[in-house]
Amino acid sequence: MREIKIGGKYKHYKGNLYEVIMVARDSDNPKRELVVYRGLYDSPEFGKNPVWVRSKEDFLAKVTEDGKTFFKFEEVMRKTE
């Protein structure tokens, strides 16, 4: 099973890069985990480095587009120096 790395960088299947800030719990349903993450981009609509939240289940989900299936968010591996 895939794990979410705090501080990890992830690429959304539509192209933007994000950094995971933390995994939180829903106050109304503590068993439901939520991923809190920031965009590593400037948005004309939402400002610099907008912060987002979505369910852990959705963050780790796969999507199918044009007959291809892939992860909604894929971790970007850092190159070692």
What are the tens digits of pLDDT across the range 23-79?
Answer: 999 999 999 999 999 999 999 999 999 999 999 999 999 999 999 999 999 999 866
Residue 2: the pLDDT is 87
Domain assignment present for 80: no
Residue 79: the pLDDT is 60
DSSP structure string for the chain = ---PPTT-EEEETTS-EEEEEEEEE-SS-TTSEEEEEEESSEETTTEES-EEEEEHHHHT-EEEETTEEEESEEEPPPPP-
Domain assignment present for 2: no
Domain assignment present for 4: no
Domain assignment present for 42: yes
Range of the domain at 19: 9-75
Number of domains forming the structure of the chain: 1
Domain assignment present for 56: yes
Residue 80: the pLDDT is 58
The CATH number of the domain holding residue 63 is: 2.30.30.320
Q: Is-above-0.85 flag for pTM?
A: yes
Domain assignment present for 23: yes
